[in-house]
Amino acid sequence: MNTPLYQSNLKQFPLINRGKVRDLYAVDDEHLLIIASDRLSAFDVVLPQPIPSKGEILTRLSNFWFARTRHLIPNHLSTLNAEEILIDANDRQRLGERATVVRRLQPLPIEAIVRGYLIGSGWNDYRRTGRVCGISLPRGLLQAAQLPEPIYTPSTKAAAGSHDANVAFEYTANLIGNELATQIRDMSLAMYIEAAQYAYERGILIADTKFEFGVDNDGRLHLIDEVLTPDSSRFWPVDHYRPGSSPPSFDKQYVRDYLETLDWNKTAPGPTLPITVIAQTAARYAEAERRLTGRADALYCATNT
Ligand code: ATP
Ligand code: MG
């Protein structure tokens, strides 16, 4: 395992953005170097400690899904190899498998969320209104129930420091045009359905997930950012799934649950996590990767705890 990486500081390329998790550098006019750090954000606050290996797991998993969704949609991965363009051997060593070179695309200001199960803000919405983001659902569904069919519930991408807001499909059509909005909705549902089937056979329920898209100069839609990772999705172990309660998970829900036990107002700075919570979180991310990709050196099964 590499040394944890909280923040990258490359000299070779200009830094253009530090997101909650990713550091973006400009390689040239057409390419970005994306570094997935080991930072973890919860409730949109970046916590002060790294989760060891998290950035590498997110990068490998995204690359895995980029390959598996290529028959549906092109993605931002470039043919340039990060290891080959990084001149400094220390940088290469520090970054490990956290770096990817991608095509610089125009990100669309929409989070394309697909939900297959009733949990999180969807469950809260349903309990209050019988609907999720304006979509009517059958009465009497339990927490974590599987929905009759997956639903598309987009949100806007909030500026740093604020939270994303759920919006109706029509809002996204006004924002980016009906054609692109429709393409994004249909593509998101198609990718979710295929991935959920694949993951189910490997012991993981994908409760929900979020995709991001960008367009190239010709307006062609591409999948960007990260795909079907424990940061962008809720992953539940199939064998612990019981409608009526929130299942244990392979994602950062475990950290959110811990944070809910604290007296913290969910604004920065975030609290420090006990070492056991960090280790358990790392183990959950590794277990998600092991189940989905079969990677053998992932750590032990987090559901034993
Ligand atoms: P945001 O709200 O902007 O997503 P974040 O904190 O989630 O913030 P990170 O995931 O840390 O962001 O950083 C990734 C950023 O890089 C996102 O803003 C994403 O839209 C952008 N991005 C990802 N892939 C590309 C690409 N191919 N071209 C341009 N921008 C990209
Ligand atoms: Mg992000």
So what's the pLDDT on residue 305?
Answer: 37
So what's the pLDDT on residue 302?
Answer: 41
Residue to mutate (ligand 1; options 225, 227, 229, 233; most atoms within 8 A of CB): 225
What residue ranges line ligand 1, CB within 6 angstroms? 19-22, 24, 32, 76, 102-105, 107, 157, 212, 214, 224-225
Q: Which residues of the chain have pLDDT under 70?
A: 1, 160-161, 296-305
Q: Ligand 1: distance of its center to the CA of 19 in Å?
A: 7
Q: What distances in angstroms separate CA 225 from CA 187, 214, 272, 292, one per listed residue?
A: 15, 9, 27, 19
Atom of ligand 1 nearest to the CA of 164: 2
**Which protein residue's CA is at the shortest distance from atom 19 of ligand 1?**
225
Q: Ligand 1: distance of its center to the CA of 164 in Å?
A: 14
**Over the range 230-261, which residues count as b (16 or more CB within 10 Å of their CB) and which as e?**
bbbbbbbbeeeeeeeebbbbbbbbbbeebbee
At a CB cut-off of 8 Å and minimum separation 6, what does 298 contact?
286, 287, 289, 290
